[in-house]
Amino acid sequence: MKLKDLSRVVRSKNAGPLTLSVDILFDSEANYLTACASNGLSLSALARLLDRPERDIRIIRDPRARAIKVVLPRAVVAGGVGDVDVYGAQHHAAFLDIEV
């Protein structure tokens, strides 16, 4: 199954102009746990997907919010020369087809 079919929300947004934060929210405990256990959302898989070193990526699991959060430095400072997404709101797309 793909992440977009298992999750309720996949959103990305700046956490300040230097950091990007991707939140994946689930409707049920079962779906949340499935995603937590999946290889597609492991640190090494995300590093490959996002073409970033593992040390740049932080994964936070929050059972209360039934959410998985992925935090990484922005490739370009928000609104700087060469940026394509000032709010960082379209970086979720890379996550949608992750196999979970």
Partner 1 sequence: MTAIERLKKRRRHGQSSLKVLSASGQLGYGIPADSLRRGLDWNPDFIGCDMGSIDPGPAYLGSGQMATSPQLSKRDLRLVLLGARQIDVPLLLGTAGTAGARPHLDQTLAMVREIAAEEGLSFRLASIASDISADAVLQAKREGRLQPLGSGLSASEEEISASSHIVGQMGTEAFIRALDTGADVVIAGRACDTAIFTAIPQMLGYDLGLTMQMAKIIECTSICCVPGGRDPMMAVLGEADFELESTNPERRATPVSVAAHALYEQSDPDIVHEPEGTLLLNRALYEPIDDRRLRVSGGVWDPADRFTVKIEGARRVGERMVLLAATADPGFIAQLDTIVPAVEGIVRTMVEHDFLLQVRRYGAGALVTPKPSQAAPSEIFLLAEIIAERRETAKSAISVFKQYLLHHGFPGRLCTGGNLAFPFTPPELDGGTAWQFSLYHRMDVDALEPYFPVYVQDL
Query: What pairs with residue 11 in β-bridges?
Result: 23
Residue 48: other Cβ atoms inside 10 A = 11
Task: Give least dist CB 30 to partner 1, A.
Answer: 14
Q: Is 44 an interacting residue with respect to partner 1 (CB under 8 A)?
A: no
Site for partner 1 in 12-41 (CB under 8 A): 13-19, 21, 23, 25
> Applying CB under 8 A, does 73 fall inside the site for partner 1?
yes
Element (H, E) at 37: helix 29-37
Task: Note whether 48 binds partner 1 by CB under 8 A.
Answer: no
> In sequence order, what are the beta bridge partners of 14?
20
